[in-house]
Chains A and B, each alone.
Chain A
Amino acid sequence: QSALTQPASVSGSPGQSITISCTGTSSDVGGYNYVSWYQQHPGKAPKLMIYDVSNRPSGVSNRFSGSKSGNTASLTISGLQAEDEADYYCSSYTSSSTLEFGGGTKLTVL
């Protein structure tokens, strides 16, 4: 069982927006602004999409955005595209100076 809770799956149609949640505790998500989001296509290494809750690395589409409220962080993808279909993982720094990942969310573009 993962320390951070994500929905197992979400889906949306091209052009729509979807949001993936990531729920932790005050010892991780709620205690620090160090939540990251990763996209992983089958057989590939993960790719950093969001860091420090809402920052986008250079080269990542502005269709991807992140936010946090209390112990729950969220990743929103707007203008859904076929290539967005992938697994998405959140991660958070913890009070033990370790890192935790969520269980992952499979995004299906209908």
Chain B
Amino acid sequence: EVQLVESGGGLVKPGGSLRLSCAASGFTFSSYSMNWVRQAPGKGLEWVSSISSSSSYIYYADSVKGRFTISRDNAKNSLYLQMNSLRAEDTAVYYCAREGHGDHGAFDIWGQGTMVTVSS
């Protein structure tokens, strides 16, 4: 079964750090670009970051640039998001998603999401 499973969410104080992980299974992870997308409580979807299959191309939303770092380990079939200098507005469910149709934002597989709460 093709599957993405996120982990690492939790409660963190403003200014703190958190590292999210996304474990992939059921497909050749190293062949696909991967992304992080977040959704604040009761709000819409917000794209966060993308990384190409070989990590050659990495992009970030302006709202997280300089604070978040996306990475991947193809040997471990895993995607990561290192989040530093966290703010209250980073509170959201974080989803990892696979770009299944080219490399232009068609996310065909999503994880179940992991909740990140930034609060003192």
Chain A residues with a Cβ under 8 A of chain B: 2, 32, 34, 36, 38, 40, 45-48, 51-52, 55, 57, 87, 89, 91-93, 96-104
Contact = CB atoms under 8 A, between A and B. Distances in A.
A32 B104 contact: yes
B89 to A, nearest CB: 14
Interface string B39-50: 000001111001
Contacts of A55: 101
B35 interface: yes
Contact of B45 (A38, A93, A97): A38
A52 B101 contact: yes
Contacts of B37: 46, 101
Given A102-B44, A104-B44, 15 more contacts: A34-B102, A34-B105, A36-B105, A36-B106, A36-B107, A40-B45, A46-B107, A48-B100, A51-B106, A52-B102, A91-B45, A93-B104, A98-B60, A99-B35, A100-B47
Interface stretch (B7-15, B18-26, B71-79, B109-117): B109-117
Dominant SS among interface residues on chain A: strand
A98 B111 CA distance: 20
Contacts of A46: 37, 45, 95, 107, 110
A48 B45 contact: no
B108 interface: yes
Interface in B51-94: 57, 59-61
20 contacts: A34-B105, A36-B106, A36-B107, A40-B45, A45-B110, A45-B112, A45-B113, A46-B95, A48-B100, A51-B101, A51-B108, A52-B102, A57-B101, A89-B44, A91-B45, A99-B105, A100-B47, A101-B37, A102-B44, A104-B45
